[in-house]
Amino acid sequence: MEKSWYLRFSVVVLSAVIGFLCLWPTLHDQGFLPAPEWVRETFTGRISPGLDIRGGLRLSYEVEIDTYVEEQRNRRARDILVAGGVLAGVYTEEESQNLTESQKRALEEKVTVDRVGSDRIRVTFADPSVVKKVDRNWVREVVGELLKIDSRDEAKGVVTLSVRPEVVERWRDTAVEQAKKTISNRIDTLGLREATVIGRESDLIVEIPGADESAFERIKNIISKTARLDFKMVDSVGARQVFTSAALTEGVTLESEQVVDGPAGQVVAPYLVARGEGARERLEALIPTLELPRNRVVALGQIEGAQEGWRTYLLVDEADVTGEDIEDAFVSFDTNAGNRPVVSLRFKSRGARAFDELTGANVNRRMAIVLDDRVYTAPNINERISGGSAQITLGRGSYQQILDEANDIVVVLKAGALPAPLRPANEQIIGPTLGEDAIKAGAMGAVVGIGLVLLLMAVYYVVGGLIADAMVLLNLTLQLAIMSAFEATLTLPGIAAVALTVGMAVDTNVLITERIREELRSGKSPRAAVDQGFGRAFWSVFDSQITTLIAGVVLFQYGTGPIKGFAVMLMIGIITSLFTGIFCSRVFFDLLVRGRNVKTLAVG
């Protein structure tokens, strides 16, 4: 036989062996065929039963896109402020890289930047003549093509900028995609490999098959955490004006503490406190009524040792160091506090420099460590911290509660922050669509049905039927192997697609075998009959399979959820059917007819 046949035969054998090895660990996990340890370690992919087969948890979230757009706008507002200082002559462009405190104070007198709505910026210059310098080219140099000039008032020295509509749409898509990736990373960290995350416009759907109901609360908590980590300075002096003038509501009291606040020395810093059930909610309702100075925000922190006690902090709204500067996060233990669990942070090189500069410029002031708008700690900076590391001291609770909270925080910090908060839209605990008995009965029916088809093929087409049977089994093995390799989830629609493609694989082999029979009846030799049979059947098989493949592509493009799952399995099945039906079966038919003395071919 020619060398090309040996090459093709090697491809078939290699495909079958690799396909079986990929599928073997799944068979082992399901208790069908024990696999050696080296197979399980080498081929780590598994097929996981879907939500409709095993039951589980389905969570729907809406990504708060406007918050993401506002955050992106705020970053550009800071760039506009610094560039506006250069334009107004407060400092040079080189000096703008590292502003001193005196330059920052001079900037506040010459340029102010206000954020209007969620996508606009209003820049006011003390010298109205500077407005003439603000043109499209200047905006492009500062923030690229993200912002456009809405209006200019040279008399008042005011320029209004807004985010371009096409940029807003791009940010929306980016926010959903980033949220999807972040949640997937968090789920992987939890070891929930069979979970799936589906993005749909501004919504995210998380499906966790077979999850333990007792673990649902922890899963939901970890998924929904924004994990926005900020290091912000506490404004103890400004707190006197903000909190002492607050209109207190029922259950909220005004307290104070003696703290050191930089050049001001010892100051009395007031804060609002709420205790008991619903304490945090009462303070959150009061915050919008407070009159805050420019560039200040109020955050809440839990009071150590108090039952359901929360307090307020007045913070600088901009954070020089954020979670994006974190290289690693891990749980450690504070030996000075009885080995209490804490979250230790290690900064990237840029973050280490920023943290060094932040602490060096704010000695004897307090710095709040804020995670998801909650102040975990607000320690006093006694000296410059140059080690590139920090700690988050957690709140009250038992040792195990604090340890669990520390582990959860590490999970979300390592997986990254969500680009925007998630708003829960729907939550379902779903039972299996098919009961265990129905699944077993269905599996048995499928096995019996496939067995009868294979038996009929072998009886009716004899040797040709045996080759067709082998190709059908190889096709099924390759389909499931591809699912294992990609750790796909097997759902009811997926099972339907597998059954459909098995039928199409049988149909492919029937077409080819019938063509060969026709050629043999016309008096051709077995070798010529195989050549002509495959040649004439090829386009009939190819056309029918490609037509179905196009339908699968359309279903995948425009379908959602179960329909997409069906489409994916259908497309995989068609590709494997073409490979096994045309390429692999030809190899075995060639084996039968390549001999010089072959006079007959048993195809029924």
Q: Which two tokens stand for residue 257?
A: 């503490």
Q: Tens digits of per-residue pLDDT, 263-321?
A: 767 888 899 999 888 888 899 899 989 988 877 889 998 886 656 789 999 998 877 78
Please give the average per-residue pLDDT across 70-79, as a whole number: 82
Alpha carbon 223 to its chain centroid, in Å, reads 10
Question: In the predicted model, what is the mean pLDDT of the chain?
Answer: 81
Query: What HEC string does 343-402 produce?
Result: EEEEECHHHHHHHHHHHHHCCCCEEEEEECCEEEECCECCCCCCCCEEEEECCCCCHHHH
**Chain centroid to CA 9:** 42
Question: In angstroms, rounded to a whole number, what is the distance separating the alpha carbons of residues 171 and 418?
Answer: 14
User: Given 3.10.150.10, 1.20.1640.10, 3.30.1490.190, 3.100.10.20, which CATH number is that of 3-52+435-593?
Assistant: 1.20.1640.10
Q: Is 135 helix (H, G, I), strand (E, B) or coil?
A: coil
**Average pLDDT in the 182-189 region?**
77
* Mean pLDDT, range 582-595, rounded to an integer: 83
pLDDT digits (tens, 9 = 90+) for 12-51: 999 999 989 988 888 887 777 888 888 888 888 888 777 6
What would the mean pLDDT of 191-197 be, rounded to a whole number? 68
pLDDT tens across 218-247, in order?
777 777 777 778 888 898 888 888 898 888
Question: Measured between alpha carbons, how far is residue 287 from residues 174, 251, 269, 284, 297 in Å?
Answer: 31, 14, 17, 5, 9
User: Distance (Å, rounded) from C-alpha 1 to C-alpha 591?
Assistant: 9
Class of domain 225-396: alpha beta
**444-479 CB burial, b ≥16 within 10 A, e <16:** eeeeeebeebbeebbeebebbbebbbbbbbbbbbbb
Domain with CATH 3.30.1360.200 in the chain: 225-396
Give the torsion through C-alpha atoms of 432, 551, 480, 542, to 10 deg. 160
pLDDT, one tens digit per residue, over 505-530 is 888 888 888 888 888 888 888 888 88
Q: Residues of the chain with pLDDT > 90: what percent? A: 4
pLDDT of 425 > 60? The answer is yes
Of 133, 128, 131, 134, residue with least CA distance to 156: 128
Is the confidence at residue 483, as pLDDT, over 70?
yes
Pinpoint the residues of the chain covered by CATH 1.20.1640.10.
3-52+435-593
pLDDT bucket at 456, cuts 50 / 70 / 90? confident
Enumerate the H helices of 389-491 as residue ranges.
Answer: 399-415, 436-485
Q: Which of 187, 186, 145 is nearest to 162 (CA)?
A: 145
Give the model's pLDDT for residue 261. Answer: 76
Is 55 a residue whose pLDDT tops 80?
Answer: no
Overall average pLDDT of the 322-349 stretch: 80
Q: At what angle do helices 3-29 and 585-593 cross, to 10 degrees?
A: 130
pTM (two decimals): 0.60
